[in-house]
Amino acid sequence: MSTDLAFHDPPEAHQQQPGEYVVESARLRALADYDSAKFGWFHVKTCLVAGIGFFTDSYDIFAINLCSTIMGYVYYADATGSAKNTTPTSIDMWIKGATQLGCIFGQLAFGYLADRLGRKKMYGTELVIIIVCTIGGSFAGNTARGLSVYWVLFIWRFFLGVGIGGDYPVSAVLTSELATSKNRGAMIAAVFAMQGFGIVAAAIVAIVVLACFRTAIEDDQLMLDYTWRILMGLGVVPGIFALYSRLTIPETPRYTLDVEKDVHRAVHDVKATVGHKNGVAVAESLGSGHVQVKAQKPTWTEFYHYFKQWKHFRVLMGTSVCWFALDVAFYGINLNSSIILTAIGFAGTGTPYHALIRVAAGNIILNLLGTLPGYWVTVFTIDRLGRRTIQFIGFAVLLVLFCILGFAYHQILDRSVAGFIVLITLAQFFQNFGPNTTTFIIPSEAFPTRFRSTCHGISAASGKVGAVIAQLGFFQLKDRGGKNAFIPQLIQIFALFMLVGLVFTWFVPETKGKTLEELSDEFDN
């Protein structure tokens, strides 16, 4: 009998091999011993190492918004009329969308490779890509012939996206497999919540860098060319601190046992993660009578046979469609940022220095109001309320909010700007205390070890397709009929996507309190 019964060939194709090892119940007992380990320093370290990566990811993604604004003052300082000091929309959306495009490739590639080669072998590789491409982007310039600074930056940002995309499945799955069942949701949510701090940090760094160059900028606004490069380049600092820990983290015992089928190393990995005592318990559960067999790497044939069953395919369909629906609105709702910043007095007006300071400060306020609280309320409640429950609540509330905003957009803005800000803030809160977090968590739990990372990568890539549609498609539609004239209709479209997410959440399992083996139906098998 195969060690990983969740992934076997069809019964007629499978024949038991002599010496094939370990009674399945012993393996499940060993993993149960690991699951019940006491929460300790290694779990905290895992959250920090993975979380710093997501801090870096969100810093890099958000910093480009500020960098693009600053670059307008440098490369379009001599333009006339409304084009003066402004990066053209057609260029702006591509240098921002480049990262999302790269993410799709990174999520699919690293998701597959982390299942094929192991979590440990891929962990840190994506961070190296992020560090190299961040530095490369900060030194982007015009070529002698052909490429402008924007298109050189686009190339660097695309490959940066590959690294950021790779971080999604690898960090999520590694954290999930190293966590205990009791705290798994909070651990993964805490890793993801570091994105909120990365967004705020980018704005804070922008203010500090601008303040340091204030005199130079007021004398010559072209000195802003230094500020966007420094702002972007500083994104490598947290990644450098986390790199060594990522490269030296042990393999997850689940991967070692289920895919590599190496009992001795599995015991060693348990001791390296949750301590010697738990390693001994796992060794006793496995017993000394095992026979080592050759590892069988996951194959696409196995993948097909597993997911051709409706009960398995519906889960992958649910996680992918929900993430896609969420990201369309998550990235699209930011089209309202300029309106909100104007309403609270932080629009980019005045001298270049004062305009940029206000934009950065305004973004800090917006994220402190809704984004950060939403992330951390999820961290502290997800293992009590459950992932599916929070996702249902989030999609349902967002559906109502977007219907109100979409169908009464101008009435709300005309009568109460404060009311408009409250509604947008609530939307940001329930995106993060809701599907933005749960769509990241559930795919890291709901699939068997052999395909867990691949499935997370597919789900995440589906989300980024939604992000690309929002940033490259809806971004062009928002000014249809006049400046920001089409935004009410776009918000109505976002409401429709929330309904789609709400419906497809029915296909997603509740993972709270269950072991990863229970969730992949191994006990039934």
Report the candidate in 146, 327, 153 with the shortest Cα–Cα distance to residue 228. 153
Give counts: helices (H), strands (E), the chain: 26, 0
**Does the pLDDT of residue 37 top 80, yes or no?**
no
Within 436-482, strands assigned E span none
Q: What is the pLDDT of residue 480?
A: 83
**Does the pLDDT of residue 31 top 90, yes or no?**
no
Q: What is the pLDDT of residue 343?
A: 67
Let me know: does 449 contact 177? Beta carbons within 8 Å: yes
What residue has token string 């026979």? Answer: 291
Q: What is the pLDDT of residue 339?
A: 65
Average model confidence (pLDDT) across the chain:
86
Q: What is the pLDDT of residue 191?
A: 96
Length of the chain counted residue by residue: 525
Q: What is the pLDDT of residue 7?
A: 41
pLDDT band, residue 285 (cuts 50/70/90): low
Which of 14-23, 277-286, 363-372, 425-434 is predicted least confidently? 14-23
- d(CA 160, CA 102) in angstroms, rounded, equals 7
Scored b (16 or more CB within 10 A) or e, 56-71 reads: bbbbbbbbbbbbbbbb
Question: What integer is the mean pLDDT of 166-176?
Answer: 95
First vs last C-alpha separation in the chain: 11
Q: What is the pLDDT of residue 172?
A: 96
**Per-residue tokens: 275:** 């301590």
Q: What is the pLDDT of residue 4?
A: 42
Which of 18-27, 32-41, 293-302 is predicted least confidently? 18-27
Q: What is the pLDDT of residue 129?
A: 96
Report the candidate in 194, 222, 110 with the shortest Cα–Cα distance to residue 461. 110
Let me know: does 7 contact 298? Beta carbons within 8 Å: yes
394-443 pLDDT, tens digit each: 999 999 999 999 999 989 988 988 898 899 999 999 999 999 999 999 99
Percent residues over pLDDT 70 in the chain: 86
Got the DSSP string for 98-149?
Answer: HHHHHHHHHHHHHHHHHHHT-HHHHTTHHHHHHHHHHHHHHT----SSS--H
Question: What integer is the mean pLDDT of 493-518?
Answer: 94
Q: What is the pLDDT of residue 33?
A: 67
- d(CA 497, CA 283) in angstroms, rounded, equals 49
- d(CA 151, CA 158) in angstroms, rounded, equals 10
**Per-residue tokens: 251:** 């393999």
- d(CA 460, CA 110) in angstroms, rounded, equals 11
Q: What is the pLDDT of residue 282?
A: 54
Q: What is the pLDDT of residue 180?
A: 86
Q: Within 10 A of 307 (CB to CB), how many other CB atoms are there?
A: 18
247-257 pLDDT, tens digit each: 988 888 888 88
- d(CA 440, CA 449) in angstroms, rounded, equals 17
Q: Which helix (H) or strand (E) holds 502?
A: helix 487-504
51-107 pLDDT, tens digit each: 999 999 999 998 998 999 999 999 998 888 878 888 888 898 889 889 999 999 999
Q: Within 10 A of 79 (CB to CB), how many other CB atoms are there?
A: 13
Helix boundaries (H) for 336-407:
337-343, 352-366, 372-385, 387-407
**Does the pLDDT of residue 495 top 90, yes or no?**
yes
Let me know: does 519 contact 325? Beta carbons within 8 Å: no
225-254 pLDDT, tens digit each: 999 999 999 999 999 988 998 998 888 888
What residue has token string 């990365």? Answer: 198
Give the torsion through C-alpha atoms of 259, 265, 270, 273, to 10 deg.
-100
Q: What is the pLDDT of residue 14?
A: 43
- d(CA 66, CA 72) in angstroms, rounded, equals 10
Question: What integer is the mean pLDDT of 163-190?
Answer: 94
What residue has token string 């983290």? Answer: 249
